[in-house]
Amino acid sequence: MVAMEKIETTKPLIELINVTKTFKRGKQEVTILKGLDLKIYEGEFIMIMGKSGSGKTTLMNIIGFLDRISSGIFHFRGEDVSSLNENKKSDYRNAFFGFVFQQFFLIEALNVQQNVELPMVYKGVHQAKEKKAKAQHFLDLVGIGEKMKDKTTELSGGQQQRVAIARALVNDPLLIMADEPTGALDSETGKVIMDTLKQLNEEGKTIVMVTHDSDLTAYASRVIYMKDGCFEEEVKKL
Ligand SMILES: Nc1ncnc2c1ncn2[C@@H]1O[C@H](COP(=O)(O)OP(=O)(O)OP(=O)(O)O)[C@@H](O)[C@H]1O
Ligand SMILES: [Mg+2]
């Protein structure tokens, strides 16, 4: 009885029902995501694997409110995402998601501190003291607190990715979306990044990560394989 109640009260953060995504290529429409069903629950560490072109980034962009679905249903915390206007969607994106990409996407003209502060600026935090304290806190958390004033171009790849993770964390997101976060790093540095993500997940952050590296699936609580815009296989772990 208790177990039943628990199941009923645990709502997914993300729910996709029969979701498709099509792109126009010249005059032709190409279907990239072919009717996906997916529920993501708080606290999960999901890894998405699949060949190049299978639709992983397209799926990540949809989940992260960076792109819209072509058909189907997308619920975020029980709310229908298609009913949200663009402003509301970008507010949600900034409030609930942190993004980490293969190529870091740091802004070269800004130093480390300013890069990490950026999502707070978008959120409307203007107090310099508050921004600085948070930037320091999250840079300390990822182990590069002493790099606050450095230029991002003078950091190693692993350090740049840690700046990107700190930036992803400053607004205390519900979900961290990481598309090949270790793809541009050597395996040792990649392990440092994975250990950081694992630690964040153990502290309660929900993580959705794309990877080509099957060795990394050991970090995941669930692995989903994609092929040609479909989910081929889902491996649940404890
Ligand atoms: N904006 C777009 N317009 C047209 N086609 C697109 C667009 N974005 C992606 N595609 C196509 O969708 C397919 C899936 O792309 P996607 O980037 O999701 O693959 P992926 O699984 O992330 O691949 P990779 O592992 O190489 O990153 C590809 O065939 C790609 O060309
Ligand atoms: Mg991709």
- List pLDDT tens digits, range 75-100: 999 999 999 999 999 999 999 999 99
- Dihedral sign from CA coordinates of 47, 211, 169, 197: positive
- Flag whether 5 is in a domain: no
The predicted pLDDT at position 233 comes to 84
Domain that holds residue 201: 11-236
Q: How far is the CA of 56 from the centre of ligand 2 (A)?
A: 5
Which pLDDT tens digits describe the chain residue by residue (238 residues)?
A: 455 555 456 789 999 999 999 999 999 999 999 999 999 999 999 999 999 999 999 999 999 999 999 999 999 999 999 999 999 999 999 999 999 999 999 999 999 999 999 999 998 999 999 999 999 999 999 899 999 999 999 999 999 999 999 999 999 999 999 999 999 888 888 998 999 999 999 999 999 999 999 999 999 999 999 999 999 988 877 6
- Flag whether 2 is in a domain: no
Q: Which ligand is nearest to the CA of 21?
A: 1
Instruction: List the residue whose alpha carbon is closest to atom 5 of ligand 1.
Output: 23
Q: How far is the CA of 63 from the centre of ligand 1 (A)?
A: 15
First-to-last alpha carbon distance for the chain, in angstroms, is: 22
* Cα distances (angstroms) measured from residue 121 to each of 96, 108, 152: 15, 17, 19
59 Cα nearest atom in ligand 1: 18
In a mutational test of the pocket of ligand 1, which residue from 21, 27, 32 has the highest number of ligand atoms less than 8 Å from its CB? Answer: 32
- Flag whether 6 is in a domain: no
DSSP characters for the chain?
Answer: -HHHHHHHH---SEEEEEEEEEEEETTEEEEEEEEEEEEE-TT-EEEEEE-TTSSHHHHHHHHTTSS--SEEEEEETTEEGGGS-HHHHHHHHHHHEEEEETT----TTSBHHHHHHHHHHHHT---HHHHHHHHHHHHHHTT-GGGTTSBGGGS-HHHHHHHHHHHHHTT--SEEEEESTTTTS-HHHHHHHHHHHHHHHHTT-EEEEE-S-GGGGGG-SEEEEEETTEEEEEEE--
* Number of structural domains in the chain: 1
The predicted pLDDT at position 237 comes to 76
We report the CATH number of the domain holding residue 119 as 3.40.50.300
The predicted pLDDT at position 9 comes to 62
- Flag whether 133 is in a domain: yes
- Flag whether 1 is in a domain: no
Instruction: For residue range 213-237, list pLDDT tens digits in order.
Output: 999 999 999 999 999 999 998 887 7
CB distance 29 to ligand 1 below 6 Å: no
Count of alpha carbons within 13 angstroms of residue 183, beta-carbon side: 15
Q: Which ligand is nearest to the CA of 29?
A: 1
CB distance 229 to ligand 1 below 6 Å: no
67 Cα nearest atom in ligand 1: 1
